[in-house]
């Protein structure tokens, strides 16, 4: 029974499969690349240590990407379950236990993890080889006896499978709250009022926010006298960001509402704004991954840019600048991958949530929404979500990045408090990325929504 | 009011409409050369067993779907060849809908749902229209519910909101597809009485699709459909007469 459902619902997993494959490709490609570098030093003393160090650095970025991917996957599974509420309720009605159903969903997650991780790893290793071939041909890399596949690529593969499996289990907890009763009436997602009233979670969110922000401030002050301020600030950053993620169910709708006001008062715009806000769980699921991704990228970029300002002021010189610029470039590209995964997650989540509203769109079409108005509504919704998540991520990232630089280097002679240095190029890329994302995320769902005739859409159960 | 006079103004009309679904050996002919007109100011029921083509007929008359062959008029407009956006505008301004279920936009409250056709048109109701809507809200007993969202309402209340929305723009024609299909018998009777009142007191033209003889007996005129063809067209009838006719039809088949 559950196997049949999994097969029929296979299309829903395309999104998670893509995210999983991207993470695995990133991980495997990066590890394979460290292997190539190691091959250059094979015969030299300490070659093994070189790779250990490189793998350790690579793992930092792989783990960050996996963290973002897990959050995206957990949320995608949450969206899928919300769309299946009627089916789940029906199965519960005829006697399936919630635990069994949840285990079935997690099993789908395991399959997605296995398929995505293996496929992604093959692509990742392939891309690494292609890059190497290009490097050798253009003379950047010397000719050498390079390995074909580094056995260590198994590490990201295993990690991706495990995190996807876990994420699907976490995301499927929604199954537990579906009652058999919902099979009889229209299954409703929790509305704003209901989902904001989650007192325990809200209290924890506030505790983390306040505690984290205090530690962050303390770290910055401490940083004025000692570089160890960064340790305190780090915990402050992690703490307060945990607060943001925990409180996402009321923070994001608030930000979305703010952005929604800017959209105007036409029917498509008001409906889009209402859509983004009325089901906070749905919009939080869609946006939280992107907020995390953008925060990570921005934190890193602002921290590096501010470090650079302080170091240049302290030590001056072209050498420092050149080395820093290259390092910042490479590391930004690596961390940027987390942002890409988050963006893919948002595109897919929005598509799914539009797909699940087929019937509502059919009703609107019957009542006189033109195809153009439907497209406008979906674009407005997508724009609202992109702008809100990228905006919030930017704001958080600028604070965190500045705090990191300030708490580490504030004690250097004559530094004191400095303004954050804005990496304008990267910020411009993020803003352009948000605009592109808004358009891209709206593209597929609006094409699908307007291709379906109102009659067919109304017939969807 | 003259309900049966031939030559009364028609608010909707189909002429030799055929509708087939699917291709090749899978073709289903849902409507087989149907010709009929819906008269202005009347409450018309389209009656027939499940699968007889009632919903398909309604979709085509309302400009939600296009016929395979034949012509369709809504008011004085020949809508047969209209493109999607022209049809959409026509529906928005001149047609009201009440479906069996899922009538309301879940993200909007009762007021938002009732005003939706105006919002879609990018305008606020005029003073006169607002008075009419307020009157509808009052007489449908929705005054205390304006801030509620659909999931907070009973099925009967949801249908009343849909009726208020459908009547709000004073459309040429209101289409109702099994509007009582999901309701208990008391709420069902209430909804039927409301539709009948709208036709009698406000002169609202209504076409209702149903397979329930009791529902059809509330109408001024009953059109019988079987296997995609019109088999009878009669003035107001009692539920017993309608049942008897339906049974006879099934026996003949
Ligand atoms: N989209 C469709 N595709 C294929 N067959 C359809 C479709 N819509 C309706 N039909 C068929 O057309 C016939 C009439 O359907 P319908 O108008 O819904 O009947 P009713 O509303 O009287 O129950 C039925 O045999 C039905 O199966
Ligand atoms: Mg029907």
Segment A252-277, tens digit of pLDDT: 888 888 888 887 777 777 777 777 77
Q: Measured from the CA of B53, which atom of ligand 1 is nearest?
A: 17
CA nearest ligand 1 atom 11, residue: B30
Interface touch A363/B105, C-beta < 8 Å: yes
Residue B4 lies in a domain: no
Distance CA B139, CA B137 (A): 6
For residue B250, is pLDDT > 90? Answer: no
Segments forming the whole domain that contains residue B64: 10-20+29-252
**In terms of residues, how long is chain B?**
253
Check pLDDT > 90 for residue A405.
no
> Where does the pLDDT of residue A187 fall: very low under 50, low under 70, confident under 90, or very high at 90 and above?
very low
Measured CA distances, A116 to A230, B174, B185 (Å): 37, 51, 53
Residue B5 domain-assigned (yes or no): no
For residue A325 the two structure tokens come to: 């610029």
Whether the predicted model's global pTM rises above the 0.80 cut: no
Distance B92 CA to ligand 1 centre (A): 25
Count of domains in chain B?
A: 1
Contact across the interface for A455 and B106, Cβ inside 8 Å: no
Which pLDDT tens digit goes with each residue over A312-368?
777 766 666 677 777 777 777 888 888 888 888 888 888 877 777 888 888 888 888
In short, whether B173's Cβ falls inside 6 Å of ligand 1 is no
Chain B nearest C-alpha distance from A273 (Å): 10
Look-up of token digits 């103004």: B9
| pLDDT over 90 (residue B224) | yes
Look at residue B1 in the predicted model and tell me its pLDDT.
38
Contact of A452 with chain B, judged by CB distance below 8 Å, is answered with no
What are the extents of the domains in chain A? 1-178, 188-461
User: Inter-axis angle of helices A199-223 and A229-246, to 10 degrees?
Assistant: 160
Interface test with B, best of A368, A369, A373, A374 (most B CBs within 10 A): A368
Q: CATH no. for residue B116?
A: 3.40.50.300
Q: Which residue of B85, B102, B117 is in closest CB contact with A367?
A: B117
Q: Kindly list the distances between the CA atom of residue A363 and the CA atoms of B64, B104, B136, in Å, as whole numbers in the listed order.
A: 11, 8, 22
Amino acid A186: pLDDT = 46
The residue-averaged pLDDT of A240-257 equals 87
pLDDT tens per residue across span A147-181: 888 888 999 999 999 999 998 888 888 777 776 66
Exposed, middle or buried, A150 (CB in 10 Å: 0-12/13-18/19+)? Answer: buried
Chain B residue at shortest CA distance from A450: B84
User: Is the shortest distance between the CB of B22 and ligand 1 below 6 Å?
Assistant: yes
Res A182: pLDDT? 63
Q: Which of A211-215, A454-458, B149-153 has the lowest mean pLDDT?
A: A454-458
pLDDT in tens, B41-97: 999 999 998 899 999 999 999 988 889 999 999 988 999 988 888 888 888 889 999
> Is pLDDT above 70 for B12?
yes
Residue B71 domain flag: yes
Is residue B1 included in any domain, yes or no?
Answer: no
Any domain includes B3: no
* Three-class DSSP labels, chain B: CCCCCCCCCEEEEEEEEEEEECCHHHCEEEEEEEEEEEECCCEEEEECCCCCCHHHHHHHHCCCCCCCEEEEEECCEECCCCCHHHHHHHHHHHEEEECCCCCCCCCCCHHHHHHHHHHHCCCCCCHHHHHHHHHHHHHCCCHHHCCCCHHHCCHHHHHHHHHHHHHHCCCCEEEEECCCCCCCHHHHHHHHHHHHHHHHHHCCCEEEEECCHHHHCCCCEEEEEECCEEEEEEECCCHHHHHHHHHHHHHHC
- How many alpha carbons fall within 13 Å on the CB side of residue B224? 20
Instruction: Say if CB A335 and CB A293 are below 8 A apart.
Output: no
Give the whole-angstrom CA distance, residue A446 versus residue A449.
5
pLDDT at A5: 45
Q: What is the per-residue pLDDT across A21-44, written as a single tens digit (0 to 9) for each? A: 999 999 999 999 888 888 877 766
């Amino acid at each position: 029974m559950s196997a049949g459902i999994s097969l029929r619902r296979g299309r829903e997993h395309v999104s998670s499969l893509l995210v999983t494959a991207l993470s695995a490709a990133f991980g495997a490609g990066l590890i394979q690349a460290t292997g190539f570098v190691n091959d250059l030093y094979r015969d030299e003393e300490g070659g093994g240590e070189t790779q250990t160090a490189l793998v350790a650095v690579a793992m930092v970025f792989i783990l960050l990407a996996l963290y973002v991917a897990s959050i995206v996957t957990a949320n995608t599974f949450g969206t899928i379950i919300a769309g299946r509420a009627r089916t789940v309720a029906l199965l519960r009605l005829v006697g399936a236990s919630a635990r069994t159903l949840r285990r079935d969903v997690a099993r789908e997650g395991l399959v997605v993890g296995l398929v995505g991780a293996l496929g992604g790893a093959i692509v990742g290793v392939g891309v690494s080889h292609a890059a190497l071939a290009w490097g050798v041909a253009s003379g950047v890399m010397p000719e050498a006896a390079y390995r074909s596949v580094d056995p260590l690529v198994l590490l990201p593969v295993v990690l991706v499978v495990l995190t996807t499996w876990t994420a699907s289990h976490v995301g499927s907890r929604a199954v537990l709250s579906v009652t058999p009763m919902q099979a009889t009436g229209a299954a409703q997602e929790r509305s704003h009022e209901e989902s904001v009233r989650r007192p325990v979670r809200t209290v924890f969110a506030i505790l983390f926010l306040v505690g984290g922000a205090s530690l962050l401030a303390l770290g910055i002050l401490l940083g004025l006298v000692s570089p160890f301020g960064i340790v305190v600030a780090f915990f402050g950053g992690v703490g307060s960001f945990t607060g943001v993620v925990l409180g996402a169910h009321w923070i994001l709708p608030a930000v979305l509402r703010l952005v929604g006001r800017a959209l105007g008062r036409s029917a498509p715009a008001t409906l889009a704004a209402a859509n983004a806000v009325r089901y906070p769980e749905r919009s939080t699921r869609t946006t939280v991954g992107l907020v995390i991704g953008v925060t990570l990228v921005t934190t890193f970029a602002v921290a590096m840019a501010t470090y650079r300002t302080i170091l240049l002021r302290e030590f001056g010189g072209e050498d420092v600048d050149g080395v820093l610029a290259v390092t910042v470039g490479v590391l930004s590209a690596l961390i940027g991958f987390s942002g890409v995964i988050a963006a893919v997650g948002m595109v897919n989540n929005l598509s799914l949530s539009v797909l699940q509203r087929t019937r509502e769109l059919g009703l609107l079409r019957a009542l006189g929404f033109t195809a153009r108005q439907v497209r406008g509504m979906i674009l407005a919704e997508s724009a609202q979500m992109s702008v809100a998540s990228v905006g919030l991520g930017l704001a958080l990232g600028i604070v965190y990045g500045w705090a990191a630089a300030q708490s580490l280097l504030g004690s250097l002679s004559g530094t004191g408090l400095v303004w954050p240095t804005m990496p304008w190029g990267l910020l411009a890329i993020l803003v352009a990325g948000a605009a592109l994302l808004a358009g891209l995320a709206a593209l597929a769902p609006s094409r699908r929504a307007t291709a379906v005739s109102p009659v067919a859409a109304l017939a969807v159960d | 009011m003259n309900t049966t006079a031939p030559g009364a103004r028609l608010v909707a009309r189909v002429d030799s409409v055929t509708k087939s679904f699917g291709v090749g050996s899978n073709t289903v002919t849902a409507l087989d050369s149907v010709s009929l007109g819906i008269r202005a100011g009347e409450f018309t029921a389209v009656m027939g067993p499940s699968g007889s083509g009632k919903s398909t007929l309604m979709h085509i008359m309302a400009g939600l779907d296009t016929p395979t062959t034949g012509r369709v008029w809504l008011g004085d407009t020949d809508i047969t060849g209209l493109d999607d956006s022209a049809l959409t505008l026509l529906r928005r301004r001149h047609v009201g809908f009440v479906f069996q279920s899922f009538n309301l936009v879940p993200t909007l409250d009762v007021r938002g749902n009732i005003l939706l056709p105006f919002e879609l048109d990018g305008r606020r109701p005029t003073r006169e229209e607002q008075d009419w809507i307020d009157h509808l809200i009052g007489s449908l007993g929705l005054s205390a519910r304006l801030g509620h969202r659909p999931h907070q309402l009973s099925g009967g209340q949801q249908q009343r909101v849909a009726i208020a929305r459908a009547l709000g723009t004073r459309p040429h024609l209101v289409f109702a597809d099994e509007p009582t299909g999901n309701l208990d018998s008391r709420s069902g009777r209430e909804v039927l009485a409301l539709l009948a009142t709208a036709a009698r007191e406000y002169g609202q033209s209504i076409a209702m699709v149903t397979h329930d003889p009791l529902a059809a007996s509330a109408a001024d005129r009953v059109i019988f459909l079987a296997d995609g063809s019109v088999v009878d067209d009669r003035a107001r009838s009692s539920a017993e007469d309608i049942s008897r006719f339906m049974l006879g039809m099934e026996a003949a088949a």
